[in-house]
A = this chain, B = another copy of it.
Amino acid sequence: MAQVQSLERSLSIMEYLARDPAGASVAQLSQEMGLAKSTVHRLLQTLMARGYVQQDQQYGHYQLGVQCLTLASHFLGQLDIRNLAKASLMQLSKDSGEVVHLCILDRNEAVYIDKVESQQTLRMYSQVGRRAMLHCTGVGKALLVGFDEQQVERLIQEKGLPRFTDTTITEAKQLEDEIKQIRQQGYAIDEQEHEKGIRCIAAPIFDYEGKVSAAISIAGPIERMTKERVQKDLPSVMLQHSQLLSKKLGYRGCSKSTQMISGESLR
């Protein structure tokens, strides 16, 4: 419960700078956060001395610095799941020709921690480090497999179920049912629920405790990702890899909150 004020303020400053790509001025920050200019200035100086913040060369605005990236790179390096999954991601990308993503759960959001680009020129916009809501994305729904009813309820309370397209799930009941189905079949389909024109198939990965530790997905434009393909063709390869990865994490089958499906193990 004990918190360090100056550190909290510094983090808030960085998060504020993250919001605005153009950066912010001392005055703007001090106003926005209700702090004295001198306080903001001092914190910025310290952050800048270490490279976590830098000053725009033309306008003098303060913005995030390179050290943020360095930390993130080490964070990614320490994620075992990322190394484990790399080969599968490459394989899936090669087989499907579409973008493949790896996500983990953080604070009721999906966070992209790896991706393999499609070779096609028409591509989805995405980026490692980006966050997405759970109810409207393939990876999100796959991650929801690990939630019990209470957790889903809390999620809805906290974030709501905002509509993005006409197929977005916006009812609690609907989401509950969807999760049950995904749990049964082992994969999730995002039917243009977040972005019109993008269809996606995703699957959860379980760890040795039976907890959902990540999710993988294949996504692409509906012209190539046809209903046919997503429902008939892709589920098997998707399950192949999600089960392989779960196995690598020590997953041995059922667990309290999860029933796994048929699917023989592979090679």
Contact = CB atoms under 8 A, between A and B. Distances in A.
B117 A117 contact: yes
Contacts of A70: 18, 111, 129, 131
A111 B243 CA distance: 36
Contacts of A6: 4, 6-7
Interface in A181-216: none
A238 B58 CA distance: 29
A63 B42 contact: no
Contact of A104 (B10, B66, B74): B66
B68 A64 contact: no
A128 B46 contact: no
B10 A4 contact: yes
* Protomer copies: 2
A3 B129 contact: no
Contacts of A76: 69, 127, 129
Among the interface residues A15, A18, A51, which one has the most CB atoms of the partner chain B within 10 A? Answer: A18
Contacts of A43: 4, 7
A219 to B, nearest CB: 17
A74 B18 CA distance: 5
A122 interface: no
A68 B66 contact: no
Contact of A68 (B2, B17, B51, B71): B71
Contact of A66 (B18, B42, B73, B106): B106
A210 to B, nearest CB: 13
Interface in A17-52: 17-19, 21-23, 42-43, 45-47, 49-52
A64 B69 contact: no
A107 interface: yes
A65 interface: yes
* Nearest 4 interchain pairs by C-beta: A73-B129, A72-B72, A18-B74, A21-B78
16 contacts: A3-B42, A4-B6, A4-B42, A7-B43, A18-B71, A51-B107, A63-B78, A64-B74, A66-B75, A66-B104, A70-B111, A70-B129, A71-B71, A72-B73, A73-B127, A76-B129
Interface of A: 2-4, 6-8, 10-11, 14-15, 17-19, 21-23, 42-43, 45-47, 49-52, 63-66, 68-78, 94, 104, 106-107, 111, 113, 116-117, 119, 127-131
